[in-house]
Amino acid sequence: MTIAFPPQTSSSPPGLQPEGWLRYLSFSLDHKVIGLQYMVAGFFFYLVGGALAGMIRVELVSPISDFISRETYNEVLTLHGTVMIFLWIVPVVNGAFGNYLIPFYVGARDMAFPRLNAVAFWLIPPAGFLLIASYFIAGAAQSGWTAYPPLSLTTPAAGQVVWILSVLLLGGSSIFGGINFIATVLKMRRPGLKLMQLPMYCWAMLGTSILVVLSTPVLAGTLVLLSFDIIAHTGFFNPALGGNAVVYQHLFWFYSHPAVYIMVLPAFGLVSEILPVHARKPLFGYTTMVYSILGIVFLGLIVWAHHMFTSATPPWMRLFFTIATAFIAVPTGIKFFNWLATLWGGKIALNSAMLFSCAFIIHFVFGGITGVALAQVPFDIHVHDTYFVVGHFHYVVYGGTVFVIFGSIYHWFPKFTGRMLNEDLGRFHFLITFIGFNLCFAPQHWLGLNGMPRRVAEYDPQFTLMNQISSVGALLMAVSTLPFLINVFWSAFSGRVAGDNPWNALTPEWLTSSPPPVENWKGEAPLVQHPYGYGVTPGQIDLGAATGREIWSSGQ
């Protein structure tokens, strides 16, 4: 490959932006720096949210509320949900990987609006600290991450107002990010690159960002009204003052069902990048993948009331939302089978990235099936607000998205830092995460089916054993972060040097140095029209020549 080096015209005058590690603490405009800022901040909040989850699981080891008081338990579970969703999953799976990868994938030197991008990131730390500080100062909100009125109107006001403020800031950050992704994917593609040639993660982020732009503002408006109810004693959602609490639920879920796709669609995209590389095969069914994403975006906007089957929803509404929800299984199923077909007959390298991705597929199918079951009214009426729902969404959010985040870190760490993560530690990390996760959340389905309500600090003693098993699983999950953290810190300084393209991948982020230079490529941006061209040109990849393990180690 011979590349001519045209004279560099740097857009940001040198000297204005700090160099070295300091730029990670600065208002940097570089999309790669911002991506890693999202990543590290997100991981910090993951540890916070994990500590909160630990408190929940310790409390639930015994049927009585002995470890923390009931009020504290409510605060802890509210903070746990809010932190994990708004400060860990959404920022990392969108902000971190999106900012890092999308400009590469469209062949651009940065996002469409670099300054807006930095603003979007820097809204997150203050919002996060505000939220956490509320626990220590006035007592945190107690009404769960859903903040349903009238509960959110009767629990202590100060914590709830801070919660609203924090979520508004995070929503704003998310909207700014979404606008940026849409503009970057649609407007910043290098000449000659067509939409249908983009890596799948671009489509996933486009779909996600459409959901963000269409639904997050509705949540923001709703929370403003909720704050009026709390502060000014208006009665929008307060039945005691003639208001309507169910309207809040509709508006909330109009955001929050799409929000589950905001959390999982980018993970779909990331998996679609990882599988072809480590299976040495083209992504199966590119076109159907694209239309599935668009289908999920559309259907995702019209299924929200499946969260409200016990909120006196009229029969026609139940019927419509059950059917619409069942339809989502179609595009989701298409994606699932496409991933399987991608793996089928490939030279699979069972490295950490691949292991986490395969576990994602398994968990997501399971969580998807319980999801479709939950959308059936007669079943949902029995298990709504029980641990069955908790089991369902942890299978999709943790077993799905968080597993993909870890897989993606193993996959892209060499690009981020120029060094490889240690594979043995990585597989060890995978093993305990996988066991711990399933041990923690599989029993919760049983608990829910047998009637254990969620969000309560105490439970019937007959549920003790299952809860203890679940808590042991949680302990394993907590332990599993240790090998990961050790791996990251050790490898960042002393890991094996990765080189530009350790996986022999074809997507554009690998066609530059590791870590990449400011503005992504020294010289011209490559035009990658076949990001999954593994083996499509006969003679280039010899599938018979090596086992997956050899192919994988050939890249080392």
Residues 6+ apart with CB under 8 A from 489: none
Residue 188 in contact with residue 198, Cβ under 8 Å?
no
Task: Say how many residues touch other proteins, by CB under 8 A.
Answer: 75
Q: Rounded distance, CA 74 to CA 147, Å?
A: 12
Residue 87 CB, shortest distance to ligand HEM, in Å, is 15
CB pairs under 8 A, 24+ apart, for 416-419? Answer: 416/36, 416/100, 416/514, 416/515, 417/491, 417/492, 417/495, 417/498, 417/514, 417/515, 418/497, 418/498, 418/513, 418/514, 418/515, 419/491, 419/492, 419/493, 419/494, 419/495, 419/496, 419/497, 419/498
How far is CA 358 from each of CA 226, 335, 439, rounded to the nearest angstrom? 41, 14, 18
Q: Encoding tokens for residue 543?
A: 């599938």
Give yes or no for residue 116 binding other proteins (CB under 8 A).
yes
Q: Is 343 a binder of ligand HEM (CB under 6 A)?
A: no
State how far the Cα of 166 lies from the Cα of 160, in Å rounded to an integer: 10
By CB under 6 A, tell whether 339 contacts ligand HEM: no
Q: Which stretch binds other proteins (CB under 8 A): 6-14, 46-54, 131-139, 435-443?
A: 6-14
Note whether 375 binds ligand HEM by CB under 6 A: yes
Q: Which of 192, 287, 378, 493 binds other proteins (CB under 8 A)?
A: 192
Stretch touching ligand HEM by CB under 6 A, among 104-112, 227-235, 369-377, 467-475: 369-377
Contact pattern from residue 147 through residue 186 relative to other proteins, giving x for each residue in contact according to CB under 8 A and a dash for the rest:
----------------------------x--xxx-xx--x
Q: How far apart are CA 390 and CA 148, in angstroms?
A: 17
Q: Residue written as tokens 């791996």?
A: 487
Binding of other proteins at residue 538 (CB under 8 A)?
A: no
501 binds other proteins (CB under 8 A): yes
3-state secondary structure of 190: coil
Kindly indicate which of the ranges 256-264, 286-294, 358-366, 523-531 contains the residues binding Cu ion, using the contact rule CB under 5 A. Answer: 256-264
Residue 345 region, left (φ>0) first, then alpha (ψ -120 to 50), else beta? left
Q: How many residues does the chain have?
A: 556
Examine residue 549 and tell whether it contacts other proteins (CB under 8 A). no
Q: What is the DSSP letter of 18?
A: P
In the bound state with other proteins, the residue whose beta carbon lies nearer, of 280 and 363, is 280
* Contacts of ligand HEM in 262-291 (CB under 6 A): 263-264
Q: Considering beta carbons, is residue 274 or 511 the nearer one to other proteins? A: 511
Residue pair 401/263 in contact (Cβ under 8 Å)? The answer is yes
Q: How far is CA 56 from the centre of its chain?
A: 22
Nearest approach in angstroms of CB 487 to ligand HEM is 26
Interface with ligand HEM, residue 212, by CB under 6 A: no
- Select the binding partner of residue 551 from ligand HEM, Cu ion, other proteins, none (C-beta < 5 to 8 A, by kind): other proteins
Closer of 217 and 333 to other proteins (Cβ) = 217
Compute the least distance from the CB of residue 343 to ligand HEM, in Å. Answer: 20
Catalog residues that contact Cu ion under the rule CB under 5 A: 257
Catalog residues that contact ligand HEM under the rule CB under 6 A: 146, 260, 263-264, 306-307, 325, 328, 332, 368, 371-372, 374-375, 380, 384, 389, 392-393, 396-397, 400-401
